[in-house]
Amino acid sequence: MSKLAEKVALVTGGSRGIGAAIAKRLAADGASVAITYAKDAGAASAVVKAIELGGGKAVAIQADAADVEAVKRAVEKTVATFGRIDVLVNNAGTAIPKTFEETTLEEMDRVIDINVRGTFAATQASLKHMKSGGRIIMIGSAVGERVAAPGLVPYAGTKGAVKMFSQALSREVGSRGITVNNVQPGPIDTDLNPAAGDWAVPQKAATALGRYGHVEEVAALVAFVAGPESSYITGANLTVDGGMNA
Ligand code: NDP
């Protein structure tokens, strides 16, 4: 029996990168999966097709994480399509790498709106429907724990906020049998943080394993947290960073 059979998951920002790998992995484990995306409808529908080709069920929903009403509608559409929601993965996120003093307030707002406000909104809307056994999973960052390089000040601030949001929320929803955990990736090869190029060299060197991670390595941890075997794990920050923060 598949670990996530009969379960329904919503993965925000699931059309590319880490979110797409999570969506595919949760579907492979038996869940019906809704993904949101902001701009790239073609990439989103390719993820849906890949899941369907594997025998799974999936739907793509356009919803900018910075638009709270769109985020709420995405949760409602997930429930309307698949009848329930058991797993929310708050993956949609962005970074605008530059020094803090060069970063405009508008850029800071954008990072906060997507990484924090969108996460709050999706979580609140999902909790309305979630039953015992539910899983709220944040995709935070290793820089929510320790920041090895300059240029990520607002981003690291938002990921620190996501971390404490997870811990605090675990205290409110634990009595309902819902767990809340924060998965913190280190450098993972995606469009946001490509493993090729100057910016990658110090990140790779900072890991114990001397390499970037693959999106599937994050998805494997998320699948475990989403599944039945993680039932006593909540309020935890689970780092998958090749030893960057060791
Ligand atoms: P990518 O930029 O590769 O992919 C981002 C995904 O999110 C795409 O599907 C994109 O869809 C979607 N997205 C972007 N902006 C929005 C938005 N405003 N609303 C809804 N969806 C959106 O990012 P990663 O896969 O690298 O990152 C995913 C998460 O992992 C983020 O939270 C990031 O902070 C975190 N992370 C990443 C690390 C890394 O090294 N890659 C390290 C630590 C954490 P579309 O194309 O349609 O915009």
pLDDT digits (tens, 9 = 90+) for 15-37: 999 999 999 999 999 999 999 99
Positive or negative, the CA dihedral 148, 187, 205, 242 is positive
pLDDT at 1 over 70: no
pLDDT at 110 over 70: yes
Supply the pTM of this predicted model: 0.98
Nearest to 118 by CA among 174, 164, 162: 162
Instruction: List the chain domain ranges.
Output: 8-240
pLDDT digits (tens, 9 = 90+) for 144-195: 999 988 999 999 999 999 999 999 999 999 999 999 999 999 999 999 999 9
Whose Cα sits closest to atom 13 in ligand 1? 13
Strand residues in 113-197 grouped as ranges (E): 135-139, 179-185
Q: Which of 16, 61, 62, 222 to mutate to test the pocket of ligand 1 (most atoms within 8 A of CB)?
A: 16
Task: Measure CA 66 to chain center.
Answer: 15
pLDDT at 10 over 90: yes
**For a pLDDT cut of 70, what percent of the chain falls above it?**
100
Q: How many residues does the chain have?
A: 246
**191 CA → ligand 1 middle, Å:** 8
**In CATH, 8-240 is 3.90.1150.10:** no
Distance CA 123, CA 42 (A): 26
Among all chains, which residue has been given the structure tokens 């993680």? 230
Distance CA 47, CA 9 (A): 14
